[in-house]
Amino acid sequence: MGKHILVAFGGVSPEHEVSVISGMQAAHALKESGNTIIPLYISKSGRMLTGPQLLDLETYKDLKVLEQNAAACTFQTDSFGKTVLVETGKSGFFSKPATYPVDTVLVAFHGSDGENGGFQGLCEMYNLPYTGSGPLASSVGMDKRASKMHAASLGIPVVEDVLITEQLWIDKREALLEDIKKLGDVVVVKPLRLGSSIGVKRATGIQEISAAIETGFRYDALLLVEKAVTPLIEINCSVLGDFEKAEVSVCEQPIGKDDSLSFEDKYMGEEGKGMASASRIIPAPISQELTNSIQQASLKLFRSMDAGGVARFDFLVHKDTHAFYFNEINTIPGSFSFYLWDKTDLPFPALMNRLVELAQKRHRQKNGRIRTYETNLLSSKAVKGIKNCLDFEIPVQINTTITEYNYEEFEKITDFVAELGVKSHHPFFLVPVGRGKKIEKDSVKSQKYNKLIENIVEKAELKETMKLKKELGTSVKRKKLFGIPKLEDANMAGTSESHKCTLILTEGDSAKSLAMSGIQVAGRDYYGVFPLKGKFLNVRDCPTKQILENDEV
């Protein structure tokens, strides 16, 4: 049974067109296998677009018209928790936006954010199966210096180099040129995080090297200047699989007009064939010993980087001595290196289906593990912990119960409230709520109650205090409590943006009823009710903070 395969290509990258070719090749091969193809084209300006016309290569001859006619889209999680691709901007009052189910994402980007782990991280966040390497291997593979350092740590030879930043080039040009001279008469200047030979220049002499560096900075803020291998032949090898099971392809020798391959050598051959149109010799005319050494080095790098899917490893070989050096890894090689696997009796459609199978295998393994951990970590903060949280402007509500027996004991919290108020610089709303029992205005109980509030206000230096317009002597019955009678006068719990913290004073069972029922007041949840004697009564979930049940005041 066919799958819904989302083919992602394009991207904000100098290798944009190369990616389009690879995407079209993959889409055609997967469609031949009976799959439903959903194109996800990312324009040069970074827009995510979809539409059936994006599966026609002719559409890309005018990118401006393409953007006007294609549908903007984004990833969303549906009501079942599954990620889908949704068209945006086309829905109306009587219509819903088009939604496309996604079984697997086939990643066909080359360079920059599509191949450096950025898009892979997006797929991880949306829990989508995707082809190729994960974020870590992708990012290391995109950084030529990092991948060379990794290879060297495994004992695989690499050529000497000098790393140049744009600011260093401005400030210490002469010193850098002296370091570059030590590399030899001929060097190769490369943007650190690009592929397809874009910005790569072989240079000799100070003037030529300086010009190559200036050109390279047009593409990247970091450049690598390497010692040139002369005379040179380039040998490439591809690896397919994952850490558990990986197989290596035959080796190839790409043929260029000069000593090193240019973008034109790689891609400007037969139209629409990408890397498949480049001149190459397969299998490479090298000894079996050298072939084995390069293949084993490729497998070692693939596994140690935890790469996945299909990758291509490029090596520099000294034509006379046959010494070889790791050059770079392409975690999404042009045309998926199908021309190498075709020679290994794995045709292109089968290669694409294998990539999808590997993606789904990794996804099953990931989702078969514990991905969340049930813990009370966020709710285990006692009152002291909540005070610290307020330094980060986290909204907090405190529902406090007082009864006729503990007015004096309630003063235990006064110092805490004072510190809370001063530290957070937020106003408190002091909201007395009765439980259906009258409190006489002039009674001792009323005097203690009012004195308590005055002490809190004074100690906390509250800049803004509000009370209910109901007098303390008025009965507030429970049924009216749930109706929130005139609580809007106090803006109950500070719902406006400027009011972040609230102290809600309630009496007796009213507080417990509120907590147990979990009702919302002014759109916010109560999230903790505690008396001064004993333990917390109950805990309710809150979007920002919880008070752990059974913690002491």
Tokens 């082809």, located at residue: 131
How big is the CA angle at 258 (ends 316 and 162), to the nearest 5 degrees?
50
List pLDDT tens digits, range 356-389: 999 999 999 998 877 766 655 555 544 444 444 4
Strand 222-227 relative to strand 186-191, pairing: antiparallel
By the 8 A CB rule, do 164 and 338 touch? no
CB 144 within 8 A of CB 216: no
417 alpha carbon, distance to own chain's centre: 39
Instruction: Retrieve residue 101's tokens.
Output: 């189910």
pLDDT tens-digit map of 434-447? 433 444 556 665 66
**Domains defined for the chain, CATH in brackets:** 4-130 (3.40.50.20), 161-227 (3.30.1490.20), 232-364 (3.30.470.20), 377-530 (no CATH)
Q: What is the pTM for the complete model shown?
A: 0.67
More confident residue, 443 or 332: 332
SS3 percent helix, strand, coil of the chain, rounded to 5, is: 40, 20, 40
Which CA distances in Å does 190 have to 179, 231, 274, 317? 16, 19, 22, 18
Phi, psi angle pair for 534, to nearest 5°: 85, -145
Other Cβ atoms within 10 Å of 4 Cβ, number: 15
Angle at the Cα of 152 from the Cα atoms of 150 and 158, rounded to 5 degrees: 115
Q: How many Å separate Cα 473 from the centre of its chain?
A: 57
Beta strands in 11-81 (DSSP E): 36-42, 48-50, 71-77
* Number of helices followed by number of strands (H, E) in the chain: 18, 22
Whole-number pLDDT of residue 544? 25
Read off the pLDDT of residues 524-546 as tens digits, 9 standing for 90 and up.
333 232 222 222 223 233 222 23
Enter the tokens of residue 428: 């408190």
Q: Shortest CA distance to 165 belongs to which of 224, 108, 227? A: 224
pLDDT tens-place string over residues 212-239: 999 999 989 999 999 999 999 999 999 9
Reported confidence tier of residue 79, pLDDT bands at 50, 70, 90: confident
**Contacts for 404-408 with beta carbons within 8 Å, 24 or more apart?**
404/445, 404/507, 404/508, 406/531, 406/532, 406/533, 407/445, 407/448, 407/449, 407/452, 408/448
Name the most confidently modeled range: 11-25, 246-260, 485-499: 11-25
- For 188, other C-beta atoms within 10 Å of its C-beta total 23
Question: CA 233, 159, 306: angle at the middle one, nearest 5?
Answer: 90
Torsion (CA) 386, 388, 390, 394 in degrees, nearest 10 = -70
Residue 197: predicted pLDDT: 75
Which pLDDT score is estimated for 81? 87
How far apart are alpha carbons 203 and 177 in whole angstroms?
A: 13
Alpha carbons 343 and 283: distance in angstroms, whole number: 8
Please name the residue ranges forming H helices in 395-508.
Answer: 414-424, 444-460, 478-482
Which residue, chain included where needed, has tokens 């090689």?
333
Distance CA 35, CA 31 (A): 5
| Terminal-residue alpha carbon distance, the chain | 61
Q: Judge whether residue 78 has pLDDT over 60.
A: yes
**pLDDT over threshold 60, residue 342:** yes
More confident residue, 81 or 40: 40
pLDDT at 252 over 90: yes
The 10 Å Cβ neighbour count of residue 271 is 9
Q: Determine the average pLDDT of the residues in 393-403.
A: 37
